[in-house]
Amino acid sequence: MAQETELLETTVIADVQDNSTYNDPTQTTYSEDSIKVLEGLEAVRKRPAMYIGDVGERGLHHLINEVVDNSIDEALAGYAKNITITLHTDGSCSVQDDGRGIPVGPHPVKKISTLEVVMCTLHAGGKFDKNTYKVSGGLHGVGVSCVNALSSHLIAEVRWAGKLYQQEYAIGAPTTSVTEMGEAKSTGTTVRFTPDATIFKTVEFRADRVATRLRELAFLNPEIIIRLKDERDGFAEAYNYPGGLQDFVNYIDDGKIAFTKPARIAGTGKGDDGVETYVDICFQYNNSYHETMLSYVNNINTVEGGTHVSGFRSALTRTLNAYATKANLVKGDKLQLTGEDFREGLTAVISMKIAEPQFEGQTKTKLGNGETEGIVRSIVNDQLAVYLDSNPTQAKRMIDKAILAAEARIAARKSRELVRRKSALESSSLPGKLADCSIRTPEDCEIYIVEGDSAGGSAKQGRDRRFQAILPLRGKVLNVQKARLAKILENEEIRCIFAALGVGFGEDFDQTKLRYGKVIIMADADVDGSHIRTLILTLLFNYMQPLIEGGKIYIAQPPLYKLKKGKKEYYAYNDTERDEVIARIRKESGANLEIATGEEIAASGGNTSGILISRFKGLGEMNPIQLWETTMNPDTRTLLQVSIESAAAASKVFETLMGDQVEPRREFIERNAQYVRNLDV
């Protein structure tokens, strides 16, 4: 099976202990001279993560997004139709559009070229003027200037007023003046930048990652044609979806069996300030047991939802319930359909265009505009009622799906109550197999969910009992992608996970009750271990997704090899590290040592004059000390933090890998087999 890290974005986290102690500021050299003012774009280079998230692969690709977003804003304003992103062989990336371009004349305040102001000044752009961009995703004017600051070289070309202009920069500072290069028959902007290798951990762009965001933008903006070219291998693809959100819903549900046809709702409403808000929604029902809700505001993925999502959900429940009652589709008085029932198997995409969006927090993940909820609710109530009356067959299928969900909900509630009663009768609601830690402050604690009793035993002996808890699992966790909640609650291992974490699930989910600051999945470094990690991630994604969004979920990285020369032992986590360790040992010893496996050493009567390489078949083969040193010690271990880069892509991959359809899964594995480093057969 392909690596589970293709499902969700992962970031390498190296644990660092805080050994700081209190110092009296009056007894140090801290003075007025210690206060530094960072000029120009120096602040971006000093603290890049504040502006682009991190300096890993995610932050690298965020540079492309920042430039592309400017082109998208031109398209939203009605001035651009074509955007081309090219990954060049020299490691640079260019973004070209056919928008209006950037003014090049002297800026009235700065008295230098406006192009230079835009490229070299934070919070400079047209996003602060309501007349320039009525709707915009980039709100702070820091996008392209941040890209410039974090690039070793950048070239900006502008086609403006019949002329072609160009200016070059290095790490955010101009190296040339704005130069007229000749005539231009069209307007637009081309930005070509080379990421600074001294800033980023990697400067190699991944075309598949770039494509994910471009495809999403093309779904949300059906009038735009976005092209991606990769000169490194000749890859080229165009993204244009005239069907817009309907095409998006069909793409997400590819591999599922649709119960209904996509229903489209679109309209405009005005808030108290009289500014129009555009609402575009498409949804359908499928044979799954989970809701897939994707929401966007000005092309920004609001992963935490907000007022637009709550408005849609309340209107959907109210309108479908009213129709079911009017059409007499629900038999008997005891069965009451709830919002939860109407959301089972629902795939919906909400796209809002708002002039002045108000986001909660700097991450722009939750919409807070109060008037938006009423606008969405009103539009959905009116248009959905008309749709149901005009499409009685589709309406009946929606209600029938909700009735099945309600019956399953009642069965699941009985199972949940049984679990609660059983917990209440026990002396402790925590699972007996859990080896808990002694510290009781969640932020200082972590839990390892460990594959297998044998590995769990080693982990329990090797851990630091003060802050590390161990929950061993026996066998593989149930695939929740293909099971209703009632069946899920019958699974002993899943019940143990729910109980140990303490956050509950569904309507009872409460992240504030999480008992540990880190939830670490620890499984073997082989295909079976990969499968188990995927099953656990599927559970977390479907029932405890806020834990992923909150950065609470991690994947442990156990070593694959142990190398020994004399009394010295070394560990390697992949084939590349193994070869590096071998080279280092040879260099230190000054000899061309022979390399032997454990079997070869045994056959030769125990000759250990060379380098002995042992491959770990599983965590259970490590003794407690080895497991602590390599995988559990915060000073030496490496963890992968799990996050969701694209909710649409994550949902689709989970369905591909864990759903009912075999053919999409086979194609995915064949396409991603090249990324599997270690394969046991």
- Give the count of beta carbons closer than 10 Å to the beta carbon of residue 265: 24
Q: What is the DSSP string of 400-416?
A: HHHHHHHHHHHHHHHHH
Tokens at residue 392, please? Answer: 């009685």
Beta strands in 545-674 (DSSP E): 553-556, 561-565, 568-572, 595-597, 611-615, 639-643
Catalytic residue (choose from 400, 490, 528, 645) = 528
580 has catalytic annotation: no
- Give the count of beta carbons closer than 10 Å to the beta carbon of residue 420: 12
Catalytic residue (choose from 526, 621, 629, 660) = 526
Can you tell me whether residue 110 is helix, strand or coil?
Answer: coil
Residue matched to tokens 């053919």: 663
Q: 475 with 640: CB under 8 angstroms?
A: no
Residue in 528, 420, 522, 543 with CA at minimum distance from that of residue 480: 543
370: CB partners within 8 A, 6+ apart: 307
C-alpha to C-alpha distance for 221 and 237, rounded to whole angstroms: 17
CA 644 to mean position of chain CA atoms:
2
Catalytic residue (choose from 116, 341, 451, 493) = 451
Largest CA distance in the chain: 87
Partners of residue 563 on adjacent β-strands: 570, 613
C-alpha to C-alpha distance for 336 and 403, rounded to whole angstroms: 9
Ramachandran angles phi, psi of 219, nearest 5°: -65, -40
C-alpha to C-alpha distance for 239 and 228, rounded to whole angstroms: 8
- Give the count of beta carbons closer than 10 Å to the beta carbon of residue 115: 24
First CA to last CA across the chain, in angstroms?
A: 11
Sign of the alpha-carbon torsion through 579, 585, 588, 589: negative
196 has catalytic annotation: no
Catalytic residue (choose from 216, 247, 344, 524) = 524
Amino acid, res. 170? A
Q: What is the CA radius of gyration of the chain?
A: 28
Burial 601-615 (b: 16+ CB within 10 A, else e): beeeeeeeebbbbeb
C-alpha to C-alpha distance for 590 and 612, rounded to whole angstroms: 17
280 has catalytic annotation: no
Helix (H) or strand (E) holding 193: strand 188-195
272: CB partners within 8 A, 6+ apart: 371
Residue matched to tokens 């009992």: 465
635 has catalytic annotation: no
Can you tell me whether residue 633 is helix, strand or coil?
Answer: coil
C-alpha to C-alpha distance for 651 and 176, rounded to whole angstroms: 46
Q: Which residues are catalytic?
A: 451, 524, 526, 528
